[in-house]
Amino acid sequence: MYGAYIEGFMEEKDSVVQEMEQYAAQHYVPIMENDAIDAFLGLLTIQQPTAILEIGSAIGYSAIRMAQRLPEASIVTIERDAERFEKAVQFIDAAGCQERIRIIEADALAQEADVVVDKTYDALFIDAAKGQYRRFFDKYSPAIESKGVIYCDNMFMHGMVLQEEQDIPKRKRTMIRKLKEFTHWLMSHPDYETTLLPIGDGLLVAVKK
């Protein structure tokens, strides 16, 4: 509701970021929306992570925005779609972020992605297949340090979490059920302080105790 109002105060984005937004719109690539990424970057600015792991790079938009906002941070990001991966590599180079963003072409749930957990991180951003959030969490949360933060995007799935099952398209029902189960499970997990924020499409923020 206040998206346009908030955007009115935002600084002008650099040419690479603008180009990425145009590319995403033209090619139907789902990237974080303006007000959502702005609020997310605000949270990261408070947290000041120095090592971030992202699941779901798409064309590298959120990774580049994080790198620009947090000059001390290094980012590892995983993308399984070959075309998006290639585009992300190009944009990361164009933004001059190749030293700070390591992008890996892999299915994050496959063994090929295990290399990323040879180190620890203080932030994990899960923004990939929505029905698999629990599996991403189980695989990658052990790599997050105590006091580290796990962020998960699209927890409202554009309002579908509020709909009755029969009103949700059939092919999306299992995914929505799993997303809601994951939300419930993490909100009551004793090892995390978890908050579901009405930012963008719903941002779950879990601080590891």
Ligand X SMILES: C[S@@+](CC[C@H](N)C(=O)[O-])C[C@H]1O[C@@H](n2cnc3c(N)ncnc32)[C@H](O)[C@@H]1O
How big is the CA angle at 41 (ends 95 and 200), to the nearest 5 degrees? Answer: 110
Q: How far is the CB of 3 from ligand X (least distance, A)?
A: 16
Q: How far is the CB of 29 from ligand X (least distance, A)?
A: 7
Nearer to ligand X, 3 or 147 (CB): 3
Give min distance, CB of 71 to ligand X, in A.
Answer: 19
Per CB under 6 A, residues contacting ligand X are 30-32, 56-58, 61-62, 78-81, 84, 107-109, 127-129
**Nearest residue (beta carbon) to ligand X:** 56
Burial of 19: CB neighbours in 10 Å, binned 0-12, 13-18, 19+: middle
Please name the amino acid found at residue 198. P
Helix (H) or strand (E) holding 50: none
Of 198 and 209, which has the nearer Cβ to ligand X?
A: 198
The whole-angstrom distance between residue 155's C-alpha and the CA centroid of its chain comes to 11
- Closer to ligand X by CB, 95 or 109: give it: 109
Q: How far is the CB of 164 from ligand X (least distance, A)?
A: 25
- Complete DSSP assignment for 157-201: GGGGGGS-GGGS-HHHHHHHHHHHHHHHHHHT-TTEEEEEE-STT
**Core vs surface per residue 47-69: b (16+ CB within 10 A) or e:** bebebbbbbbbbbbbbbbbbbbe
Q: Which is nearer to ligand X, 123 or 188 (CB)?
A: 123
Nearer to ligand X, 62 or 183 (CB): 62
CB of 62 to ligand X, least distance (A): 4
